[in-house]
A and B are shown apart, each in its own frame.
Chain A
Amino acid sequence: MLVQQLVNGLTLGAIYSLIALGYTLVYGILTMINFAHSEVLMLGAFMALGLAALLPAIFGEGLVGLAGMFVLSMAGAGLINVLIERFAYRPLRHVSRLAPLISAIGVSIILQNGVFIWISTQSLTFPEPVAIGQVEVFGATISSLQVIILAAALLLMAILHFFVEHTKLGKAMRACSDDIQTAGLMGINPNYIIALTFFVGGALGGAAGVLYGMNYGSIKYNLGFLPGAKAFTAAVLGGIGNIRGAVLGGFILGFLEVLASGYIPNGAQWRDVIAFTVLIIVLLVRPSGLLGEKLAEKV
């Protein structure tokens, strides 16, 4: 029972982590909550659904087709995120802290309702990526779906880690995250790096959307909101702006939810209450999140 819960928590946590990364990357560089991120996630899932119908003809069935669907959905989601930044946030970058947030809320509403109007008002069935098999490990049933989700998420996190820590662009991104003005003086074009950050964050969100669709088997125009809000919570829990914190927060939230549903009477009902309560308690004890840095004020 416990092992089963842990496996489920790991799967859910992996998805939350991917989404949380998108919030935290953008926050790290612009200190803004990309409210439309949940819609990027939703669009990622819808693109994957569209591609799932098209791609087998090109790539054939199986893992190649799956990978193609994945990569293209990610690229599409990343691109959408870049466009959102370009048109809805950039003009407001120096205006005030709240203006981009309101603009983001507007974008989020537009995207949701766009899908609602032009694609579907109802839930659509998300195809099974591969025939689902099951493995028994220590009494827990692990489906091939869970393996795929976990493997894809971990692979993406590893790629992100390599990118941020070991490539020139990744270093530029970190530099901008530390201090965007100074980075600008060092010859880094901040607009370019910001666009790149939105692309990477959006792509991770898109990937999460695809995994989310696979995990639940159906998608809807408003699917992004709940995991988006929770993943944002996870990012804050870990210490927003901090990459490792986002991953940590995502997994903690995943486990918390699964364990609450499994072990507390009426746990499924109280699951989110417990998650948010834990968040509040953690922030009261550690006001900058688990791995966040403390900010000092200069007089």
Chain B
Amino acid sequence: MKKALAWRWTPWVALALAAVFPFLAATLDAQYLVRVGGVIGLFMLLGLGLNFTLGYAGLFDLGFIAFYAIGAYTTAIAMRAGVPAPAALVLAVMMSLAVRALLGLTILRLRGDYLAVVTMGFGEIARLTINNLDALTNGPKGLQVAPWRPLAFLSADPNIQYYLLILIAVAGGVIASSRIEDSRVGRAWIAIREDEIAARLSGIPVRHYKLLAFTISAAFAGLAGGLFAQWEQFVTPESFVFWESILVVSIVVLGGMGSIAGVLVGALVLVGFPPIMQWKLSADWINYRYLFFGLILVLVTLFRPQGILPSSRREAELTS
């Protein structure tokens, strides 16, 4: 019982710590870490999103970053057309959802690795299209976005503002994820992952539920992309390369598929590690940061193949 109680408080304590962190960092002259924290938060959102597709529905997606891009570019284009920033975020989410739903309708009947390669193809198509459609996206030169300063009453530092805004989004994402997981819909997804045919013959419309999980993912990515564009005030196709999709998949798998806490830890470790190394180490060592990143991926996978913080159910699946 004691342990259960402690676990119940963990998220709130973590949230409180995360909320005061930027102010502490500011006094410690470590503003760099606030930026890193913001980026980690964006990838937490991406991980939470992909967790619906990969963790709940068991669908393999190697092009997820495309929806981050769609969110970012929708926001940028909308704001340049005079749409207010919060409305631009809503548009970003809606646009990502719409494209994702259309993509899902087309490709979800593919299985396993075929789905993986098709989503990878879509990710590349999206990036190259952004890159080539100069009229709309200004091509490789990118788009400038007018500054928007949310939460200005909390801090004058835009990095802290966006850090906190992203933190709110992550907290909201965690609550939404866990509530959906713990419902009829979440049970349906788990059932599908366990045994698709038994799920269908227990009355679950399998294709609809897969499409649902696949689509919901994009809301998180679209929101993250929109926040990214507003924070950076600049978007280019370079931010949305295949490698970023791989990073998000790694976050979900390494953290523990289908585990919300796992996704958060996965993002913290994988996204936080290279810049923190870069921050702490001398220039000679900076080159080594991705080498170590690769080593972490391999070693964690070898020694904890179920992920750092797997959901209890997943753990049971993997040890059986």
Contact = CB atoms under 8 A, between A and B. Distances in A.
Interface stretch (B24-32, B67-75, B298-306): B298-306
Contacts of A276: 121-122, 124-125
Contact of A96 (B106, B287, B318): B318
A288 B298 CA distance: 30
Contact of B107 (A95, A103, A280): A280
A217 interface: no
B197 A117 contact: no
Contact of A273 (B116, B129, B197, B295): B129
Contact of A103 (B124, B257, B298): B298
B254 A33 contact: no
B125 A273 contact: yes
Contacts of A167: none
B291 A283 contact: no
B231 to A, nearest CB: 27
A102 interface: yes
A113 B290 contact: yes
26 contacts: A96-B306, A102-B249, A102-B250, A102-B297, A103-B297, A103-B301, A105-B250, A106-B296, A109-B297, A110-B298, A114-B291, A117-B291, A236-B114, A240-B114, A269-B128, A269-B131, A269-B132, A273-B132, A276-B122, A276-B124, A276-B125, A279-B118, A287-B109, A287-B111, A288-B114, A299-B197
A283 B297 contact: no
A297 B298 contact: no
A266 B125 CA distance: 15
A125 B143 CA distance: 36
Given A107-B294, A109-B290, A280 B121 contact: yes
Contact of B294 (A92, A106, A225): A106
A266 B134 CA distance: 12
Nearest to A225: B242
Nearest to A103: B301
A117 B288 contact: yes
Contacts of B298: 88, 103, 106-107, 110
B120 interface: yes
Given A98-B253, A269-B132, A287-B111, A113 B291 contact: yes
A71 interface: no
B114 A287 contact: yes
Contacts of A101: 253
Interface string B219-250: 00000000000000000000000100010011
B293 A109 contact: yes
B110 interface: yes
